[in-house]
Structure 1
Amino acid sequence: MFGALVVRELRSHMLTYRFTLSACLLFTLIVGSSLILGFSYDRQLSAYSESKNAREQKLSESTDFQTLRWQGMQQEKPPNPLSVFTVGLERELSRSVTISNRQPKLGRSKYSSALYTLFPPPDLLYIVNIVGSLLAVLFAFNAISGDHEDGTLRLVMSNAVPRHMVLLSKWAGGYLALMVPFLGSMLAALLLISALTSFRLTSAEWGAFGAMLGVAALYLSVFYTLALAISVYTR
């Protein structure tokens, strides 16, 4: 019975314009953001390789170690492949450090500009935080109250179905309807950036990527649960 109720709820969401528009919006934002940051990652990777080659050439051609100590050597931080999805601490940390006999000097982050403060990069964190939470509320705000007004809730409750099972099926079906376009968009973005850019993940980075998706799913579930609770209360 629980499975049938979940399938019914999922189907009712997927046949609405709300689901179609949400799927198109998430696909456009997530894939577009990943491609933009993916091409930026390619440029950072090229710049890092050039800087590394220049540093190695300078070391091989240097004959005066004392002068080299005073001038210092600039060490670049390799770009993080996960920055394709979320910028993270790249906004705060510098990408280079100059090492000499004086105090090490940190380079400026490219995100230290006030422009990036006003208009942060449209990464996955931004999309989930703003768009995803609004969509979660949109999917759940009338899950119970809407069925009560339509009379379908009374029809379901006329059967020998426990109330907690109806509520859990509402939560599971609606949450699955929200996660299907989100995970589908993430899969499409992953395939496209793997094909069009130099994006590659190690085993440890795959674990971090999975944890990132898990946190995003948990974040969306919190907003969906709150909206569903409000819908139950207003019934």
Structure 2
Amino acid sequence: MWHITKREIYDNLNSLRFALTTVLLLALMVTNAVKHLREHPKRVQRYQDAVTASLNHLTDRADDSLYTLAQYGPGNFYKKPSPLHFCANGGESLLPDAVEVDEPPVFMTDAEGNRLLEGIWSLSYPDANLNNKNVGPQVSQVDWAFIIGYILSLIALWFTFDAFSGEREQGTLRLMLANSIPRHTVLIGKFLGALLSISIPFALAVLVNLLLISTANTVHLTTEAWGRLGIIFCLALLYTSLFVA
């Protein structure tokens, strides 16, 4: 089985499709990293500006009583940009950036319109900016989800469509089956060879992508983020193996 796997890897490494796959994945991953490094600081700056404005608003209300602060609330709650935005956009642009705090409702007023009885503040989540005319996935987003879901699955089919027909054309399939090799051994060897051949350029592209992002001063990846990236990489290989099989 391992002999078949090594021969499959050797044949793929010396093929044109392996070189094209490597160039394609590297180009997409570099594009993804450059785009993230350009857009992430802008998202962080907008978040910091909004938080600063909210804190300044609370500072201006420092002379208010605790009852007034509890009644009108602390202000809006803003969503912090994720450093892993380059992995999957997830329609984040369609979602609001903050949870708004509504003013307390008025239950009773006097004849002059002065408030006599008021409630307390409540949270209001704004409606999503959905486009009902276009509910399909955004394939224009060059993130990991697009690369894994579309490109990597097509590459898996490209590497395996001639796994046995190519052997038949070269005349090596009859020679292989003439030996005392079980058919399941041939299938497993072909499967592992194709999967490892695809994993090499994908791992190289991911390494370059993370190297560009992690060495930049504008993006800080925590230990938890690195753990999630490892899980995403393993799931990507598992997803690709379904198409290889």
TM-score range, shorter chain: 0.7 to 0.9
Q: CA deviation at 1:136?
A: 0.7
Counterparts of 2:241 and 2:217, CA distance in 1: 32
TM-score (norm 2): 0.80
Counterparts of 2:55 and 2:93, CA distance in 1: 28
Q: Please say which of residues 68-77 and 16-25 is displaced more in the overlay.
A: 68-77
User: Which one of 75, 78, 91 corresponds to residue 77 of structure 2?
Assistant: 75
Q: CA deviation at 1:94?
A: 2.6
- Look up the equivalent residue of 1:76 and give its one-letter code: Y
Aligned to 2:181: 161
Counterparts of 2:172 and 2:240, CA distance in 1: 26
CA shift digits 1:194-222 (9 cap, x unpaired): 12352222222222222212221111111
Counterparts of 2:151 and 2:46, CA distance in 1: 33
Counterparts of 2:229 and 2:177, CA distance in 1: 42
Counterparts of 2:213 and 2:135, CA distance in 1: 26
Q: CA deviation at 1:149?
A: 2.0
CA contact (8 A) 2:33 2:213 kept: yes
2:236 aligned with 1:216, yes or no?
Answer: yes
- Look up the equivalent residue of 2:231 and give its one-letter code: A
Equivalences, count: 223
* Residue pairs, 1:4-83, within 5 angstroms: 4-62=3-61, 63-64=63-64, 66=68, 73-83=75-85
TM-score (norm 1): 0.83
* Residue pairs, 1:1-235, within 5 angstroms: 2-62=1-61, 63-64=63-64, 66=68, 73-88=75-90, 90-91=92-93, 93-100=95-102, 101=104, 102-107=121-126, 112=130, 119-120=138-139, 121-225=141-245
CA contact (8 A) 1:42 1:197 kept: no
Counterparts of 1:28 and 1:57, CA distance in 2: 44
- Look up the equivalent residue of 2:227 and give its one-letter code: G
Larger radius of gyration: 2
CA contact (8 A) 1:38 1:197 kept: no
Counterparts of 2:238 and 2:144, CA distance in 1: 14
Q: CA RMSD in A?
A: 2.6
Which of the pair is proportionally richer in helix? 1
SS in 2 for 1:81: coil
Aligned to 1:231: none
Unaligned ranges ≥5, structure 2: 105-120
Aligned to 2:110: none
